[in-house]
Structure 1
Amino acid sequence: MLTSLFKAAAGAVLTLAATTALAEEITVTDVAGRQVTVDAPVNRLILGEGRQIYLLGALQPETPFEHVVGWREDFSQADPDNYAAYAAKFPEMKQIPTFGGFKDGTFDVEQAAALQPDVVLMNLEAKAATEDAAYDDKLAELGIPIVYVDFREAPLEHTTPSMRLIGRLLGEEERAEAFIDYSQAQMARVAETIETADPQRPRVFIDRAGGYSDDCCMSFGPGNFGKYVELAGGSNIADGIIPNTFGRLNPEQIIAADPQQVVVTGGHWDAYVPGGDWVGVGPGADLAAARTKLEGLTERTAMAGIDAVQTDNFHAIWHQFYNSPYYFVAVQRLAKWFHPELFADLDPEATLRELHERFLPVDYVPGYWVSLKGD
C-alpha cells in the first residue's frame, strides 16, 4: 500500500513538471551545510513549522501564503494573536492543509506528497528526528527536497543565511537583502553603544516561559535569549551552568546568583495550558492583566529575596522573539532595561512599529512587553 502511494505521488509530481517549465534548477546550501538542488523560484512550498510564516511574511508581505500548500499546525497555538491578525487579512490561510510534527513522528509523508510540493522547508532542530524516521529518504524517493533553515537554535548565526536562502528560493533576493540590512543596522545601534561605553553588566536571569508550568525554571544557556542578554550588555546567570541553548536552573542556583534583572518570556498559551500563570504579552495584549501575572511570578521560591524583585527590575517580553527574525527588537528592549541611561534615546517600540510598516503583512499593535518598573 505504502509503495503504491509513493508511486502515485511520484506520478503526480511528474505531471506537475509542465507547470514549472520556467523554473531554473539551482543548488543551494542550507543551514545544515547540505547542498540541495531545487527548481526556483519555488511554486509550491510546505512549511515544516507554521511560524516560518514570519520569514515568508517579510519577503512577500502582499501574498505570504501564495506558495504555501501545507504547514505544521503550531502557529495558531503558539502565537494565537498574530495568527488571528494574519487570518483576518488572509482568510485563505485557514484552508491550507495542516500537518503534525516531524520531531514527534506525526508527519504524514503521503499527505505531503499528494500536495506536490517543490520543497519542504524544515527547521534545523527537526533534522535528527527527520532522519531517524527516514522522512528524508521517503521524500527523496518522491523527488521532494528538504531545505533546512533555523531561527531558533542559533538565531544570531542562522537567521541571516536562512532569510537569504528563502529569498533565493522564492526569487525575492532583493527583499531579503533589504530586511537583512535593516536588522543589522538595528543591532548595530546597541552593539556600538555597548562597545564604546563598556558598562558594568547586570546579572540577568531569563525565565523562559515563566508560569507555563509549576516547574522552575527553564532558561537559556549561551544561545538564543542567552546571547541576546550578552549583546544587550548583561551577564546571563545560566551561562556556564546550561551548556547548550535550552536548559533549566533550579531555585537554589537562581537565589545564589542573585540576578539584578529578570526577564520572563511570555505569550498567550491557552491552547497548551488553559488559564496558566504564563504572562500574556503579544500584539493587543491586556498589559494590566499581564502585569498582574508578572507580579505573581515574583512570589515563587526561586525569586525569594533576589535583587531584581527588590528593585522592580522584573520584566516580561514576547516569547516568540526567540523564534522569529525579529530578534533585534528584543535586544534593543533588553538593552534599554539593563542600561536605561545609555539607551535613553533608543525606542524599541518605534523599531517594532517601523518593522511592521516596512516589511510585515499585518499592522503593528502594541503589547509585546511589560515591566514592574512601568516602562
Structure 2
Amino acid sequence: MTFGRIATGMMAAAIVALLTLAARAEMVKVTDVTGREIEVNVPVERVILGEGRQVYLVAALDAEDPFKRIVGWREDFSQADPDNYAAYLEKFPRMAEIPTFGGFKDGTFDVEQAVSLKPDVILMNIESKQATEDAKYIEKLASAGIPLVYVDFRERPFINTEPSMRLFGKLFGKEERAEEFIAFRAAEIARVTDVIEKAKPARPKVFIERAGGYSEDCCMSFGDDNFGKFVEMAGGDNIAMDIIPGTFGTLNPEQIIASNPDQIIVTGGWWEAYVPGGAWVGVGPGRDEAEALRKLKALTERPALTGVKAVENGQVHAIWHQFYNSPYQFVAIQQMAKWLHPDLFADLDPEATFRVLHEKFLPVAYRPGHWVSLTDVD
C-alpha cells in the first residue's frame, strides 16, 4: 500500500515536471533587427554568440551565470576587451572551456562545428549580414533546424539597441529583466538630453577619432550614428556628420585641420593582442591612467592635429572604445557631456552611473579607468 502511494506520487511528480517543461518551452515567432521573422523555441537553453562581446548584455540578463546558455562564441572578447575577459574568467572559470570559432565576415565560421554544438539559436551581429547571405549560412543552418537571429549594438545603436535587448529578453525568458535595463538606460540618457534640450547651449565642434593610434593611418571617425550620435546627444557638433555618409568612415587630415575642432575625443582600448606596442590609448577597466595620458598626448603631435584649437587648449580626451558596441552607451554620453559642457553637467557623475550599472545588473565589480583627459594634466 505504501509502495503504491509512493509510485503514484512519483508518477504525479513526473507528469508535473513534464507539463512544466512543456509550459516553459514554446515555439514563437520573433522579429530580428532586419525585419526577418524567425521561429524559435523559447526560452533558449543553448546559444551561440556570433560575437563574444554580446556577453555585455547576456551578463545583465543572466547575472547569476552569464555562460550557462552559451555553448559557443566568436573569439573576440578576450582580444578586444582583455580586462573584462579576465574579470569574468576569474568569477566564471569554466567560460574558458566554451568552444570558439571564426567570424562570418571573414569566412572562417564553421557550420559543421556549429551544428555539432546543438544550439537553439545563433545570435549574429547585423554587420555580418552580407557575408552570411553570400555564404548561404542561414539556409545551411536552417537545414539542421538552427535559427539565426540578427541583433545590433554597433551599426545603428539608437535604432536597434532597444529592439535587440528586447529580443535577447524574449529568447532568454528574461523579458522583465530586459525592460528594467532598457528603462535604466533611457533614464540615464535623458539626464543629458533633457538638459541639452532645455538649455540649448552653443555646440562646440568635435572631432571623434575611432581607435586613434591603432594604425598609422589617419583618421577613422563616425558619421551620423554610434559615437557620432553620442557627440550630438551630448551637446556637440560632430564635424564628420556631413562628411561620412554612414556610421563609419575616414576623414583626411586636411578636413580635420579645416574644421578646427574645439574638442577632440579619441576612442581607445587595450589592443595588445591586435597591435602589440601600438600607439593606441589603453583606457579600460583597471587601466593605468598615467600611461593612457602619455599616449593620448603623443597622438596630438600628429600632422592631422597640428595647430587645431582643441590641441592648443588642451581639450583632448580618450574614452573606452567598447562603449560603441554595447548597451552601455549612456555612460559615454554622460562623460562626453561633462567634457563639452562642464558647467551644465557639474553635478553629473558618469563614474557613479557606471558603478550603479554594475551593482544593479552585472556580476563583476566596477573598476575605473574608462576615460582620461588632457584637461586633468597640470
TM-score category of the 2 structures, normalised to the smaller one: over 0.9
- Equivalent in 287, 290, 296 of residue 288 of structure 1: 290
In structure 2, C-alpha distance between the alignment counterparts of 1:63 and 1:272, rounded to whole Å: 29
Which one of the candidate residues 324, 334, 341 is aligned to 2:326?
324
Residue matched to 2:183? 181
Match for residue 272 of structure 1? 274
Quote the offset at 1:20 in angstroms.
7.1
Partner of residue 256, structure 2: 254
Query: Could you tell me how far 1:157 is from its partner in structure 2?
Result: 1.2
CA offset digits 1:264-319 (Å, max 9, x no partner): 00000010000000000000010000000000000000110001001111000000
Distance in 2, Cα, partners of 1:264 & 1:191? 22
TM-score by length of 1: 0.94
1:204 aligns with 2:226: no
Is 1:160 the equivalent of 2:162?
yes
Alpha-carbon separation, structure 1, partners of 2:77 and 2:215: 20
Cα distance in 2 between the residues matched to 1:262 and 1:252: 15
Structure 2 distance, partners of 1:62, 1:365, is 19
Q: For 2:31, which of 10, 22, 29 is the aligned residue?
A: 29
Opposite residue 204 of structure 1, the aligned amino acid is V
May I ask how many residue pairs the two structures share in their alignment? 359
Distance 2:21 2:118 in 1: 12
Deviations 1:105-148 (A, max 9, x none): 00000000000000000001111100101111100111100011
The unaligned stretches of length 5 or more in structure 2 are 1-19
* In structure 2, distance between residues paired with 1:331 and 1:157: 16
Aligned to 1:298: 300
Identity over aligned pairs, percent: 68
- Separation of aligned partners in 2, 1:180 and 1:331: 16
Gaps (5+ residues) in structure 1? 1-18
The aligned runs of 1:69-108 (5 Å cut-off) are: 69-108=71-110
CA distance in 2, matches of 1:45, 1:213: 34
Q: Could you say what secondary structure the match of 2:375 adopts?
A: coil
Corresponding residue number in structure 2 for 1:53:
55
The answer on 1:229 being equivalent to 2:235 is: no
- The two structures, once aligned, show a CA RMSD in angstroms of 1.4
CA distance in 2, matches of 1:55, 1:20: 26
Q: SS at the partner of 1:39?
A: strand
Query: For residues 132-178 of structure 1, what are the alpha-carbon distances to aligned partners after superposition, in whole Å with 9 as ceiling and x for unaligned?
Result: 01111100111100011000001111111111110010000110000
State the AA in 1 paired with 2:277: G
What amino acid does structure 2 have at the position aligned with 1:129?
A: A
Match of 2:138 among 132, 136, 139: 136
The letter of the residue matching 2:51 is: E
Task: Establish whether residue 115 from structure 1 lines up as the match of residue 117 from structure 2.
Answer: yes
Q: Distance in 2 between matches of 1:345 and 1:290?
A: 25
State the distance in 1 between where 2:184 and 2:241 align. Answer: 29
Give the alignment of 1:296-375 within 5 angstroms. Answer: 296-374=298-376
Larger radius of gyration between Structure 1 and Structure 2: 2
